[in-house]
Amino acid sequence: MLNESTVLITGGGRGIGAAIAMAFARTHARVVITGRSASALSAQEEILREAGAGDVLAVTADISKAEQVDRLFETIHDAFGPVDVLVANAGVQGPIGPLEESSPEEFADTLAVNLTGTWLCMRAAIADMKAKHYGKIITMSGGGATGPRERFAAYAASKAAVVRLTETAAAELRHDHIDVNAIAPGAVNTRMLDELLAAGERAGAELTGARSRAENGGTPPDRAAELAVFLASSFSDGITGKLLSAVWDPWEDAAFAERLASDPDFCTLRRIDGKHFGSIDT
């Protein structure tokens, strides 16, 4: 039961991370949120307490820094003990525009937060989970992970790498009963949309769609939150190494979930059916 679990959500102070934290609060889990904005975390902490979380801890940290991740986990251990569930949600969009015009510093920072930060948190959580011979790790995919994303090269490259990191970790940790999966949350309206709109013509072909999303609304973040709770629960035991779309994959369907657990090639980054490239039949 999740009400006996300690769940860490990185980037939990706003956007998709805040929605995921709220979903776990409603399960009465012990919820830990972290991010770089102390004010956002403080505001979200109060909201989570009112929603019924078993307990809440907000810790300011930059997950791209190894020493800050170490301190984060020390703080969690002192308060709640080992981490049972990690939702590695924190991410930045990085530079927008032609890839040759991106600054080395911006490109490197995007990889540091999205990829290295995810790995650092996974690394720390794995030590907790191996001790219990059980655990759940959930990472976040994003636009460009499964196909090219013009003018968002750093973000796309980092998210493709996160998914492959997820699959690799799943293979390594399978015998420790630690399930590792990635969520593609869909086109949720977050601060990244505001950054895209501010970039104007540098965003290229995505600008028109972004303006429409801003006016009409994007994908509700609750869908990704519901999938995260499923992947953290015992109902998903044995499902590992998968890339799941919160919007398009029918993960609530029993037959679909059964295939997720039994077919190693189903819903992976390769998106292949058997050994042949092509569409997936559900």
From 155, 230, 251, 266, active-site residue: 155
- Whole-angstrom distance, CA of residue 14 vs CA of residue 91: 11
Q: Where are the beta strands (DSSP E) in the chain?
A: 6-10, 30-35, 55-60, 85-88, 135-140, 178-184, 243-245, 272-273, 276-277
Are 42 and 58 within 8 A, CB to CB? yes
- Whole-angstrom distance, CA of residue 270 vs CA of residue 254: 23
Whats the size of the chain, residue-wise?
282
- Let me know if 155 is a catalytic residue: yes
Q: Which two tokens stand for residue 67?
A: 């020493």
Largest Cα–Cα separation, the chain = 51
Q: Which two tokens stand for residue 206?
A: 């995505």
Q: Which two tokens stand for residue 31?
A: 């919820």
Q: Tabulate helix, strand, coil % of the chain (nearest 5).
A: 50, 15, 35
- Provide the β-strand partners of residue 56: 31
Task: For tokens 């001790």, name the residue.
Answer: 131
- Whole-angstrom distance, CA of residue 184 vs CA of residue 168: 17
- Residue 174: other Cβ atoms inside 10 A: 15
- Whole-angstrom distance, CA of residue 98 vs CA of residue 247: 29
Distance of CA 119 to the CA centre of its chain: 12
Closest residue by Cα to residue 136 from 166, 92, 91: 166
Active site residues: 155
